[in-house]
Amino acid sequence: MQIMNEYFRANASMVYIMTNNEVMNQIISFYRDMNGMLTFVDSYPTYGRGTGTKEVSTATANDGVDPLASQGALTLSRDGRFLLAVNAGSHSISSFIITDSGAPVLVDVKPSGGTQPNTVDVFGNLVYVANVGNVANNFASNITGFRIDNNGRLTPIPGSTHSLSTFNAQPAQVLFTRDGSKILVSELTSNHLSVFHVNQNGTVTEPIVNDSYGQGPLGAYFLSSGILLVTEADSNALSSYSMSTDGILHVISGSVPTGYKTACWVVTTRNERFAYITNTLSGTISTYLIDRNGALSVVRHITSTPPGTAPGLPMDVGVSKDGRHFYTLNGNQGTVSVFTIQDDGSLVRLQVAAWTNFPYLGSQGLAVL
């Protein structure tokens, strides 16, 4: 039976987005067919509240797009068993178990260990969430750890809450390294990349604070080699770094510009030859070539939605397990743009999938199963 369950899970093909609704946050699921096309399936409450169009910080523009200013607001475990969502309006995180059909079933809701959680990651049975803080606590930002059991239930780890490089450094992504030995937090407002060593008991050490090469580090992605990619929303660029075992980052390519506005989210092709960056306010996606040493160069761009239609402002990103399709959430519409990935890394637009009849502002988070 266990083998059969794993078979179904490995072959379930879904895309999930999060509404971030301020009354009741919800997960929206789409079925993904063999050609990558999406069909709306259902919505699932998180039993927590989002922020709607309200920004989590006064440091970012209150335009209703990208209210959480983060990558990883909605995250799948690496084995596809669990889906984790932040509820920034009610200061909690929700965990779902993914059924054989791909439907997420709510298991647990726990306080996030701070206020306004905006990004979460999971490695094995460890979960870490980053909290922005709010006006009342002078935006006291932190990360907090949990254990997740085989049924998806969350247990806070005593002593795991830790401040970032400064008390009001706004986290944009919390991300485990590929081996789970360290946690990286990109800090949008302090222009720092903080690295925490993970202790055996699940707590973390004091942060090793690295300066971001460019301004406004937001999205981050680790290659299998350990090379780190970081987008820079203010520099409109992408940087790459190597990381020493002590958590010190070394620049490989510094601030390679996209040529467009607000480079925010990043993901790579499965073979890690190309990276896709969403330039949110420009409505475009940039493709970067990654050489074997991690050096970056821009090769092409494409609009998220078809020319002549309502422009979509792309945010969160994901690539299918088979590496054939790329997905991005259009934050000003609540739609998902679907692309086929060609051998040369170029994107061919297939679909703009919607779950409502009207544009939906405030949505954030995307995960591909």
Range(s) of the domain holding residue 46? 2-368
Q: Is the separation of the CB atoms in 161 and 114 below 8 Å?
A: yes
Angle, CA 114 vertex, CA 110 and CA 116 arms, to 5°: 90
Q: Can you give the CATH number for the domain in which 123 is found? A: 2.130.10.10
Element (H, E) at 289: strand 284-290
Separation CA 180–CA 295 (nearest Å) = 24
Separation CA 119–CA 135 (nearest Å) = 19
Separation CA 259–CA 65 (nearest Å) = 20
**Would you give the DSSP letter of residue 144?**
E
Q: Is the separation of the CB atoms in 273 and 315 below 8 Å?
A: no
* Beta-sheet pairing, 263-268 with 182-187: unpaired
The two tokens of residue 284 are 């475009």
Contacts of 292 (CB under 8 A, 6+ apart): none
Residue 327 φ/ψ, nearest 5 degrees: -130, 140
CB count, 10 Å around CB of 135? 9
Largest Cα separation within the chain, whole Å, is: 54
Coil, strand or helix at 16 = strand
In the chain, which residue ranges form alpha helices assigned H by DSSP? 2-11
pLDDT digit string (tens) for the chain, length 369 residues: 333 344 334 467 999 999 999 999 999 999 999 999 999 999 999 999 999 999 998 877 788 899 999 999 999 999 999 999 999 999 999 999 999 999 999 999 999 999 999 999 999 999 999 999 998 888 899 999 999 999 999 999 999 999 999 989 999 999 999 999 999 999 999 999 999 999 999 999 999 999 999 999 999 999 999 999 999 999 999 999 999 999 999 999 999 999 999 999 999 999 999 999 999 999 999 999 999 999 999 999 999 999 999 999 999 999 999 999 999 999 999 999 999 999 999 999 999 999 999 999 999 999 999
Element (H, E) at 218: strand 217-222
Domain count for the chain, please give it: 1
Angle, CA 228 vertex, CA 289 and CA 328 arms, to 5°: 65
pTM of the model: 0.95
Give me the sign of the Cα torsion angle 303, 337, 188, 76.
negative
